[in-house]
Every structure is written in structure tokens, then in C-alpha cells.
Structure 1
């Protein structure tokens, strides 16, 4: 299997998610010369070259080379157009294709490329920008064992990755961890606002909300106990925590969260149908 120092990667799309992957890979030992990128935005290309010294191009097919992996890092709405544009280069080189776009299926990608190819759907999230991503992945049947391991090396450079065996599960990953950071940001925002209404300053309320979230997440990650057990350890009978949790329960927070994830899951599925 190729090591991280031997894998050649072409990024098609060089936005925030691509940049986080580039930074993570360089931190893991990959060199700038192993990667190239294309993006229509001159400002973004200038940023990538300045930040990572990676060669960039406005044309998706320019200096394509013979990459082991092509990472398609564009929005779902332009995926069809981009894949059709780069199809001749991908058919010529036959690399592993990794998509980080929500909703678009491996069958749709193969159809737009005009060839059955090894394709992985990966769903990173924005904490990948600081090396703390949670990434779900699905591989079609043409992906080899070596390519599975290469994909893990790439994604583990920016966080923690898991495989799912059913492609439909990627929509659930999108709903849980792909969109999930926004849920926690909203919850922290509401904690801050509620703290301010109780008399705390904006600065102090924001600091307490953020540090409580960070500390709780780290404790949950490092503790062998379940989330239920950790919650119970904070909750004394008839105490302040119990009063807050009772209020959450009375307001059906479990149902609210389930409905939110269902909405995100349904939207991910609907994205693919827009291109049928």
C-alpha cells in the first residue's frame, strides 16, 4: 500500500473543506508537490498557493497528471457540471474519486463521468478545519482494499473517520455529523443568550458556554462511561441540573432533535433527486 508520502492527489474545488484536507495532509507528512488543485476563483487559488505552496489552476483539466486520488470538493448543485467537465481527464487516468458533496450518489457520479469507477462518498464536517473532523465514508464495489486504506489515510489526517456499508447511511451521517456542528453552535448561542438574560455579561456568558461545551465533549470522548452515565453523574436528585433536564423533557427536546435530523436526512436524499 502507498504511504502518505507517495499518494498523488488532485483537488477539483479548493474551498474551505479542500483547504482543511490539504493542511491536514501536509501536517501528516505529505508535501505540496504531491498535490495540485483547480478552482475558478482567483482569490482562492492565490490563498491555496500562498498558504500551502500547492500549484493551482483555473482549468479543471490543466496539468492533471496521473493522480492516485481525485477529490471533488464542490457544492452538490454544480457537481454534474464539474464532473462532466473533468470526465475526460478522469477516464484517462482512472483514479479513485472521492466526493465530499452531500446527497450526490455514486451511481450519479459514475453516470456523469461516463464510466464505472472506484468512488468514495465522504462526509467531513467543519471541525476538520482544526483537525477534529468526524467523517463518514461509503465506497462502491469497485474500490480496492488499497484504495480503502488510502482513503482512511487522507480522511484521518483531519479527524476521525468511519465506514458505512449502505450508501443511504451517508445521508444519516450528513444529518448527524455533517450538519451537526451548526446544532452545537446554535445550542451554545442559546446558552449564552440565556446566561445574559440571567445577568451575566456577554463576554462571560460566551466564555462559559464555549468552555462548558469543549470540556463536556472532551470528557465524553475520554471517559469509558456512556453518555447516559455521564449525564447521571452531573444530575443530583431535586438539584439544579435535574430542574433544567426536566424542563428539556417537558418541552420534548428528544422529539425536536429527532425531527431536525430527519429533516436534514430528507434534504440530503432530495438533493440527489434534483439531478435525476
Structure 2
């Protein structure tokens, strides 16, 4: 019998995970989603065919897993109102909210709970996500397996054994879709200056990125070797790569990702004090 999973929040990320679960064969009648107002739930219920409720505590009362999918800014209020229902049931808690430590979530929910923190990214909305997961000491092996099953429904899952490493996950994958969107934007602009129509440059850049990622994921070779395989001595690719290296691309990426991780730490401190 499938574990009963309740999503607190029915926004884009929750809907993406639910849709992925259903596509992977998870039974619809084992999934519930909540939201404060019925108008937010109607399209989710009609599209996904799951149970919905505007009563968080009631929805948690029979849950084996509770997925917290609300904005970090309102998480404390939501958790404190759920405390009695959660303590009565002791479900696995999975949070997809950025910046809130497992210890803080556990305290807001009354303590002594199995908590998994998940840092997903927006490609999860199209089933191509990448998520870093961290489990506190109360999470059993079976619960780890269940969390993996739920999140793999929308993409790749990688576990980290130290919670602080979720800040690095934020830099490497959580915020990283925007890095690639910036690259697409820059390539489109450069392509148009070279004479291509904007839509042609955009499609070529995006398809090339998709193909490069697919090649890298399907290959046992390191990215550096794949890069060298494209570069002919004295050729066009070598000239472009030399220019990127001379311009400090590696340093720029390192500085940007460090800034991202530092902001993730700051947000954790700010949100934890609310």
C-alpha cells in the first residue's frame, strides 16, 4: 500500500512533483494537496485528479509524508498551526523551501521529527530537475528511499551528508538554471550581431546546450575531455575557448557561485530568526 503523501501548498513546485509522481505510477488517491482557498485547488484537483483540502491539519492527520511547499516567509506560521497534527502522526517531513534549516523546521513543528530538506530547481517543472537532499538523524533508511522516490519523479536526486552543503547545491543547481539562461541570452545577442535572426540564434543555442548536456550525461568522460574532443588545433573552437579562458570565465563562475552560496547562508540566518 502506497504511503499517504500530503503537500502543504499547491503551487508550481508542488504540482510538478505531484505530476511526476503520478506519471511514475504513484496512486492518485494516496496524494493530497492543500491551499488556503478553494480557487487555488480546483485546477490542481481537475488536472491531476488528487484529493485537495483547505484544512492543513485535517490533511496531515492521515499522512505518512508531509511535503512543505509554501514560501519560506510564511513557513513558521504554517508549521506552528500544524504542530499538534504533526506531533500526533509523526510523519516524514520534506521541505522544498529554500533557506530554512532542518532544526528550525523541526522546532516549529514541535520537535523529534524526521526531516528531509530538499533544494530543487525550476527545471523540475518540466521533469528535468536536479535536487540536493539532506536528512536529519531521525530519518530512517526507508524514509530516505521514499524521499528519493518522490523527488526522482521530477529529475536527478543527490544526497548530501552535511546540511551546510545545501548552500553549495544552491550554487551548483538550485540557482544555476539562470546562469544558462544568461548564456542563452548572451549567445542570442552575439548571434544577431553576426547576422543571424534572433529566433534562429536562440534555437541553435538552446538545442546545442541540450545536446551538450545529453552527451556529457551519457558519457563516462570528464567535461574537460569532451571539451578537448571538440577542439581541433588551430581551429575555431580552440580560438573561442582560449578567449573565454583569457577573459577569466572560470574565475567569474567561481566568484558568482561563491556569492550565491554566501547569500544562501545569509537567508538561512535571516529566516531562522523570524
The TM-score, its normalising length taken from structure 1, stands at 0.95
Q: CA RMSD in A?
A: 1.3
Per the alignment, residue 164 of structure 2 pairs with 168
Deviation at 1:41, TM superposition (A): 4.8
Per the alignment, residue 187 of structure 1 pairs with 183
Tell whether 2:83 aligns with 1:87: yes
Distance in 1 (CA, whole Å) between partners of 2:108 and 2:8 is: 15
Q: Please say if residues 5 and 63 of structure 2, whose CA atoms lie closer than 8 Å, have aligned partners that are also in contact.
A: yes
Distance in 1 (CA, whole Å) between partners of 2:192 and 2:37 is: 41
Runs of at least 5 residues in structure 2 that lack an aligned partner in the other structure: none
Out of 124, 128, 143, which is 1:128 matched to?
Answer: 124
Change (3 A) 1:63 1:168: closer
Out of 159, 173, 177, which is 2:173 matched to?
Answer: 177
Q: Please say if residues 6 and 59 of structure 2, whose CA atoms lie closer than 8 Å, have aligned partners that are also in contact.
A: no
SS in structure 2 at match of 1:61 = helix
- How many correspondences in the alignment? 272
Out of 7, 12, 15, which is 1:16 matched to?
Answer: 12
Measured against aligned partners, the alpha-carbon deviations of 1:2-58 in whole angstroms (never above 9, x if no partner) come to xxx611100001111111110010011112210111113544312211110122223
What stretches of structure 1 move > 4 A for 4+ residues in a row? none
Change (3 A) 1:57 1:260: same
Per the alignment, residue 140 of structure 2 pairs with 144
Q: Please say if residues 76 and 271 of structure 1, whose CA atoms lie closer than 8 Å, have aligned partners that are also in contact.
A: no
Per the alignment, residue 38 of structure 1 pairs with 34
Distance in 2 (CA, whole Å) between partners of 1:106 and 1:18 is: 19
Distance in 1 (CA, whole Å) between partners of 2:39 and 2:174 is: 26
Per the alignment, residue 218 of structure 1 pairs with 214
Tell whether 2:226 aligns with 1:230: yes
Change (3 A) 1:118 1:63: closer
The TM-score, its normalising length taken from structure 2, stands at 0.95
Q: Please say if residues 2 and 27 of structure 2, whose CA atoms lie closer than 8 Å, have aligned partners that are also in contact.
A: no
SS in structure 2 at match of 1:102 = coil
SS in structure 1 at match of 2:56 = coil
Deviation at 1:201, TM superposition (A): 0.4
Q: Please say if residues 155 and 161 of structure 1, whose CA atoms lie closer than 8 Å, have aligned partners that are also in contact.
A: yes
Out of 235, 244, 252, which is 1:256 matched to?
Answer: 252
Measured against aligned partners, the alpha-carbon deviations of 1:89-117 in whole angstroms (never above 9, x if no partner) come to 11111000000111110111111112120
Q: Which range moves more in the overlay, 159-168 or 34-43?
A: 34-43
